[in-house]
Amino acid sequence: MHDTVIRAATVVDGTEAPRYTADVAISDGVIAAIGSELGPARRVIDADGLVLSPGFIDMHAHSDLQVLLNPEHPSRITQGVTCEVIGQDGLSYAPVSDETLAVVRRQIAGWNTDPEDFDFSWRTVGEYLDHLDAAGTATNLAYLVPHGLLRALTRGFDDGVASPAEVERMQEILAQGLREGAVGLSTGLTYTPAMYADDAELAALMRTTGELGGYFSPHHRSYGAGAMEAYAEMIDLSRRTGCPLHLAHATLNFGPNKGRAPELLTLLDEAVAAGADVSLDTYPYLPGATTLAAILPSWAAAGGADATLVRLRDPQDLARIREHLEHTGSDGCHGVIAEWETIEISGVGDDALAGYVGRTVARIAADEGRDPFDVCIGILLDDRLATGILQHVGHEENVRAIMRHRTHTGGSDGLLVGGKPHPRAWGTFARYLGHYSRDLGLMSLEECVGHLTGRAARRLRLVRRGLVREGYAADLALFDPDVVIDRATYDAPRTPAAGFTHVFVRGVAALDDGETTGALAGGALRLTEEGVL
């Protein structure tokens, strides 16, 4: 007696092989059989006309707290996501000390909020993963050790080059996190304090990561004026250290990069041909998303939030900040000047500022008869750096070209908080399937599903996950290929995707007949000698 049989499904199995029709049986959380006449089941789902695929793997998620604060997690479940990779961009919540946790909570409040009455009792990576398991989660979660936290634990949030002893200490903490189950290392080289690291520090940490079976996922030093050089730097580090490299949200945004995708793809192809282990993820949208404080020059952000707020009140420091943001280009803004008409407020920490949400800095300045720079600084001060933004700086031709690369996987980079967060949090995977695969024909359905499942599973070294195959975990998505589409917009970003009927996590229905069930069958996936289990 099977738990569930999905009958007459069109199976797109994640390998990029041609689709086929079969019944699929689920028992005890795994795919028990694939074929026909599979025997009795407690439940039979008629899947005639529907596609059954592996659950999608979000290779770049920011659900680190939201998966606990809002356990039903509809943004992911309603678009077929059953696994997320968190701990991204060098900043998250483990490993920490009491002191560093207090700072980082404020620093990334624009990503996750900063809840006051919340149990932050963990300090190590292992304790955080245990906390996820104990709480129960809607999706499976793989964790990257954040480089910024390693640096904070050894030398605080100040700038400057780490000493050999400090780098060695970072390696020790990193190794502990990997042995406790983290799948790799992330960094945020336009965010403090990771942005102050030199290549020697990065190389040492990458060697440790590779030796223990993990991979390196960098938010590299520039996605703007220095993007190509930043990509080349990461690839060179991977070659020198032997550490597998996964380029996070591998976009080419801002004016200087219009039409330059072929250069990036040539760089990737040459690296792969030379034996480098490189992959990437992207989101299928033009705007990016981050915090307003992130666009500040690195020197202005040194020392943490309190130090930054002091500088924002100092006339001499403000003059220097204005010079970087409006004339020479800020390293926090990827080496380009801040184009105020492209920077839209997406969320605020202080409800009194909610009227700014959905408006660009330039629009606010025009409406209030103020200087845009003064508007930016005023919001940062009033909101104590907790402001989220969208940056409308992408190029469609780059987005389309990069998503077709043979090493490509999908990542939402989705922030779930704020009045009007980026719609990619609720729409990425449905948008790939509906808009780019079905409607534009940029890739076949089989290829698209492979990008979002099997390829990602290989990068993560998942064991018996990521494919529709007997003996594999029953992490599955069932959807109508003629209907599936993203419906989240910039005005209504929390609108669920269309077309998904059922989503199973470890064999348990998290989406049933199009409705979330609240099931918390997911949990932490941990790196082991065998792979990620």
The string of pLDDT tens digits covering residues 414-433 is 999 999 999 999 999 999 99
Question: The dihedral of CA 501, 505, 506, 512: what is its sign?
Answer: negative
DSSP summary character for residue 532: B
Say yes or no: 76 and 98 in one domain: yes
CA dist 419 and 34 (Å) reads 44
Length of the chain: 533
Say yes or no: 219 and 303 in one domain: no
Residue 170's pLDDT is what? 98
Residue 513's pLDDT is what? 98
Residue 520's pLDDT is what? 98
For residue 59 the two structure tokens come to 């290779």
Say yes or no: 312 and 300 in one domain: yes
Inside any domain, residue 14: no
Inside any domain, residue 1: no
Inside any domain, residue 120: yes
Q: What are phi and psi of 256, to 5 degrees?
A: -60, -15
CA dist 329 and 326 (Å) reads 7
Inside any domain, residue 386: yes
Inside any domain, residue 178: yes
Name the domain count of the chain. 2
pTM: 0.96
CA dist 219 and 221 (Å) reads 7
Say yes or no: 384 and 398 in one domain: no
Say yes or no: 170 and 191 in one domain: yes
Say yes or no: 150 and 220 in one domain: yes
Say yes or no: 355 and 381 in one domain: yes
Can you point out the beta strands (E) in 292-356? 343-347
Residues near 401 by beta carbon (within 8 Å), at least 6 away in sequence = 261, 262, 265
Question: The dihedral of CA 240, 176, 87, 108: what is its sign?
Answer: negative
Give the residue ranges of the chain where pLDDT is below 70.
Answer: none
Domain C-terminal end among 331, 356, 390: 390
CA dist 210 and 28 (Å) reads 34
Domain C-terminal end among 449, 464, 479: 464
Say yes or no: 349 and 399 in one domain: no
Say yes or no: 129 and 264 in one domain: yes
Inside any domain, residue 488: no
Q: What are phi and psi of 279, to 5 degrees?
A: -145, 175
| Category of 239 on φ-ψ map: left (φ > 0), alpha (ψ -120 to 50) or beta | alpha
Domain C-terminal end among 447, 464, 481: 464
CATH number for 414 = 3.20.20.140
Inside any domain, residue 40: no
Say yes or no: 190 and 277 in one domain: yes
For residue 479, give the nearest of 81, 66, 34 by alpha carbon. Answer: 81
Domain that holds residue 333: 291-390
Say yes or no: 239 and 124 in one domain: yes
Say yes or no: 282 and 301 in one domain: no
Inside any domain, residue 494: no
